[in-house]
Structure 1
Amino acid sequence: MKDSELLVLKVLRTPWARQQFLLHWLRSHWADILGHTAADHSQPYRLENGTLYVHTDNPMWSNQLHMMQGKLLGQLNRQLVPALQGRKRILREMKFYHGIIQEEIQPREDKGPFMPKVDPSRRCPVCGVPLIGEEEICSACRREQVQTLRREIRKQLVLRPWLRYEDCRELVKCDRITFTDVKAVLGEWALNRALDPKATAQEKAFAVLLETGLRPKELQEETIVRTLEKARRSRYYVPARRK
């Protein structure tokens, strides 16, 4: 990163503003990092809590970039080394989603650093603090809304672990990315419980319902055993070391 860009990062006060700047930087340098071919089919969409969400225009590119995630994370964090400020890495995870990229792709030419503007006349409708840039709600209140949404999605999945995104959307106004992420986190937690030797039959059934999307009346003991055994093998499998 350039010295001018590092200076901008230092003066930005809120986590939301720093994330927006880093997202702008990643979009501006995306082709230089990935190469023009991959950049023509993908676009950084959102940066939140160390997770970079990327949209692609083809499932093949989602799969290919997912397979390269480890390499990409190392490369991206090396590019952001001057901005780490004592942290080991800024980006911890990348998530890829196939879908139409509706946002305008940032031009590749460097037009200088991005500086969010504060308009004192525009205030958060919830808490009243001045808004930064194009914010409709301040970062703190937005964070609380996101957490509330995630809790509601989790509640629905606990009650109905077989829910798909289309079903959940009829109960909770949510987007696919948030639903998928909440379900993945809950699924990981449920599998950990189910694979415990002391797990109850109910905990095992819940994990399998969440994993397979089957309804309770469709669930068979054989399916529970097979699903959990597959999960156990995938967790404890150690690939042979190359010689």
Structure 2
Amino acid sequence: KLIFKPIKEIRTFTMRMRSEELGQEKLEIKGDELKEFAELCYIIDKKLKNQHDELEKSIKEAIKDLYNTNLKLQQANKELVMLNTAKTEFFSYISHELRTPLTSIKGAADILSRKSSCSDPAYVEIIKKNTDHLTRTIVDFLDYSKIEADRMEYDMADNSLTDIANEVIQSQKIDAIKKGLKMELDASEKFIIYIDRYRIFQVISNLISNAIKFSPDNGIISICIFKSNKGLNFSIKDQGQGIAAEYHKFIFQKFYQAPQENGTLNIQKGSSGIGLA
């Protein structure tokens, strides 16, 4: 009993392994339990070797794919560096080429403003202010890397939001007159706040420029500054067709222009779709 019981357990184990672990593998049963167990060990060893070979093959293929992927990433990174260098050089070149004629324009405007014979000095002031604004924008080209890295520097100080809005209105007065538009500013006080004057000028300028582009001729553009429970509010309202609510989530994307009511793109001449981006 002490001898046959373990042998019986070995055979039971052999039968279970054959059916559960080896699947379709069949053993030749000759009544020799120990031989059956030896053949089972041989089959298991063979199966393990096959699995090892398959695993080793998969690892080699994965290493090869990883090596190829790494080469592609290195090449892509090299191209990215080259593109970034070309972009920086392009911005530097454009900045230089634009700043030179702007300096001449500003110099000519300064001379005109000092001459008493100038018939309408207000227009000369518009030229000077817009030249200054464009010069600052060109300087921003050189700071493009800072903008991309979210490390833009700001010149913060107490400024009147009302005065800035008035300056923008005056700077865009000529474009509004061409379309017979009337720009109205509703502000009960100066509204002194701690801001970067140039950046806020830039934002308001883009908003009013959009209002002028998309307003019908002889319309009204209303600029309103007021206080509420939530703080200081600034709004610009025009009489254009507007943008449907379903497209509001896209308006801050670069180069995006909402479609018109008939489904066609609302592409305006001189509009690039980056004013709000």
TM-score normalized with structure 2 length: 0.24
Relative contact order (C-alpha < 8 Å, sep 6+): which is higher?
1
Task: From the two aligned structures, give the one with the greater helix fraction.
Answer: 2
- Structure whose alpha-carbon radius of gyration is higher: 2
TM-score normalized with structure 1 length: 0.26
